[in-house]
């Protein structure tokens, strides 16, 4: 088993969902984790859960940050170096989905919010981290989506942002290959995050589960840990000869064209 022990891993969007589940799953391998999200109280909750998994407090750094602000992106890198002295893995996980609507109703503000978090932040956070990743021959892991390749009505801006993220992954992989820095992305399908499972509307919760069954042949909707396991693999030396890859982790969703089974209106 390839070791992650003492590797410094930055994960954005760790206050909930896939980011939180990834932090918890990786904790058992004793890395040094940098937890990034906007709300400090939620980060502290995840940090406490990581400690419960056996990760010592001195191996956890909490960094509240707004990824739409360039100064916060620089702060994430500088504070990580100040605390741990290196960066081995950057996981660009945070994502925005606000303003999902049709062509007649989306706005420049919704476009900017989604693009700032989903594409601009990974690009410029990676830029800030690259000098340090070159020193450690590290890895960048971008959490993309099946939406990068799957045309879904009313999700136009989100789909465009994730397609851009995958193309950024490939271009950066080629650019950094001479330095032994790997860049890969993961395309999750429908994942039942804690946000979704806490939906008070039972009918909506049932609808989400049924959508998973109809669009993802293998087990329906996935869980955050399904993505966390692939993050662990890509972060480790087991994936040492992989770069520029976009991996579907979607229960076979991409095989059947999931948007055909989604009724939007």
Structure tokens at 224: 């955050």
Residues 6 or more apart whose Cβ sits within 8 Å of residue 134: 176, 179, 181
Distance between CA atoms of residues 149 and 157, nearest Å: 13
What 8-state DSSP symbol labels residue 41? H
Residues 6 or more apart whose Cβ sits within 8 Å of residue 45: none
3-state secondary structure of 173: helix
Distance between CA atoms of residues 16 and 181, nearest Å: 28
Structure tokens at 235: 């972060």
Query: Beta partners for 35?
Result: 11, 62
Distance between CA atoms of residues 166 and 122, nearest Å: 11
Supply the residues annotated as catalytic. Answer: 158
């Amino acid at each position: 088993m390839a070791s992650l022990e003492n590797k410094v891993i930055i994960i954005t969007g760790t206050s909930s969902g896939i980011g939180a589940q990834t932090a918890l799953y990786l904790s058992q391998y004793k890395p040094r984790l940098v937890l990034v999200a906007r709300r400090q109280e939620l980060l502290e909750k995840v940090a406490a859960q990581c400690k419960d998994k056996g990760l010592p407090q001195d191996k956890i750094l909490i960094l509240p940050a707004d990824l739409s602000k360039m100064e916060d992106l620089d702060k994430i890198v500088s504070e990580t170096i100040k605390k741990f002295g290196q960066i081995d893995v950057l996981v660009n996980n945070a994502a925005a989905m606000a303003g999902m609507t049709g062509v007649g109703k989306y706005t420049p503000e919704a476009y900017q919010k989604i693009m700032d978090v989903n594409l601009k932040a990974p690009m410029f956070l990676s830029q800030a981290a690259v000098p340090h990743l070159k020193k450690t021959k590290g890895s960048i892991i971008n959490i993309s989506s099946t939406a990068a390749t799957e045309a879904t009505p009313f999700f136009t801006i989100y789909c465009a942002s994730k397609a851009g993220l995958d193309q950024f992954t490939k271009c950066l992989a080629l650019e950094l290959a001479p330095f032994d820095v790997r860049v890969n992305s993961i395309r999750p399908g429908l994942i039942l995050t804690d946000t979704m499972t806490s939906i008070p509307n039972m009918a909506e919760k049932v609808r989400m589960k049924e959508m998973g069954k109809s669009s993802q042949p293998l087990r329906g909707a996935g869980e955050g840990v399904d993505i966390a396991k692939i993050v662990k693999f890509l972060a480790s030396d087991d994936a040492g000869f992989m770069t520029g890859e976009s991996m579907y982790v979607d229960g076979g969703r991409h095989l059947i064209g999931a948007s055909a089974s989604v009724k939007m209106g």
